[in-house]
Structure 1
């Protein structure tokens, strides 16, 4: 089963999320923790397949810093950010730290399970749907980009916009009249060109360089 660590300073949230995942039967949910420091400690001890990380946990280490520490410890680890009903500050910085996706704490059980299952399998364009909008709503100040804005070809810009909109690889390959393998190669090259470590960071870059503006 997929092992999951839930991190949130609100015990009611950790109980609800833990119960939803355990009831599904496909997940082994570790004992939840309630601070960034505990998150890093628990991850180091148990190496879960996925961490659901609250963004803001005052006082002490934030979810953003804990995400960065976990990714520094294990670059292959997978973190999904937990946000409130109205996404608040920290989302963009959490994604810049290496998180793969964002899910609302009040998401229904079906949506929560879907996101956890998809993220535990690796990054996916479907996890990007609504991400740019969430960052925009949060009013979060975008972190400084690690590189200057490169010149994108029309095809690269189209691919970036389709990814920001959360279209799946199969849809994008069909829209660009290429094979799945070719399209994934193009997406990888786009990450390199924009200095993005994963697909979620492509969304951040698209907003930083104003290649994409959510409606």
Structure 2
């Protein structure tokens, strides 16, 4: 994937950072602003303000802390933002050790998880990738992080569908965060075919996006991190 910066006259993608810790918002905001690639909005520090800011400013990306006591959690704020705009792009911010709320945040519609202590390049790379849309590359270590977090995985919306052996293989690749090109090479398929299978898997498992596909895979025990 090529990394592009906004051309002259093109508005920079807008980013909203949400965290109850002002030190975290300062650090994340500074990293993103220093790239000169993003228009970073003034950060907010609670779920209620995040929803209000999203409704008013419609940022391209929201970096959302999962737990923000005592008010609205990041999970509930993500749900509210997705109600406002089903196409909203929300990335969950987590602590050093993935904590509770990851699975529920992804179930609410978040695209991926990024660690608050991630290096500058990792943080900006995740934001860039999310701006390009739903991508398997955003899923690396996600299944492991959900399991490590000890979070209660939400109940699946229905009984497990029947998947073919090929579908289970492709699902495992996606859960490991392999990109479409890597999966195509491993399975001797075209990238177009892999994307078609991924789309069909989302339909069969009732997943809004690829991150939710990982949650479904754990719910139905189609995939288990090694």
TM-score, normalized by length of structure 1? 0.99
- Paired with 2:104 and 2:205, the residues of 1 have a C-alpha distance of 17
- Paired with 2:196 and 2:207, the residues of 1 have a C-alpha distance of 14
* Deviation for aligned residue 1:71: 0.6
Moved more, 37-46 or 178-187: 178-187
2:38 matches 1:30: no
Matches within 5 A, 1:147-166: 147-166=158-177
- 1:8 is matched with 19
- 1:176 is matched with 187
The list of structure 1 runs, each at least 4 consecutive aligned residues, that deviate by more than 2 angstroms after superposition, is none
Two-structure CA RMSD over aligned residues (Å)? 0.6
2:200 matches 1:198: no
Q: Which of 75, 78, 87 is 2:86 aligned to? A: 75
Between the two proteins, the alignment pairs up a number of residues equal to 215
- 2:140 is matched with 129
* Deviation for aligned residue 1:120: 1.5
TM-score, normalized by length of structure 2? 0.94
5+ residue gaps, structure 2? 1-11
- Secondary structure of 2:199's aligned partner: helix
2:73 matches 1:62: yes
- Paired with 2:117 and 2:189, the residues of 1 have a C-alpha distance of 38
- Paired with 1:158 and 1:72, the residues of 2 have a C-alpha distance of 33
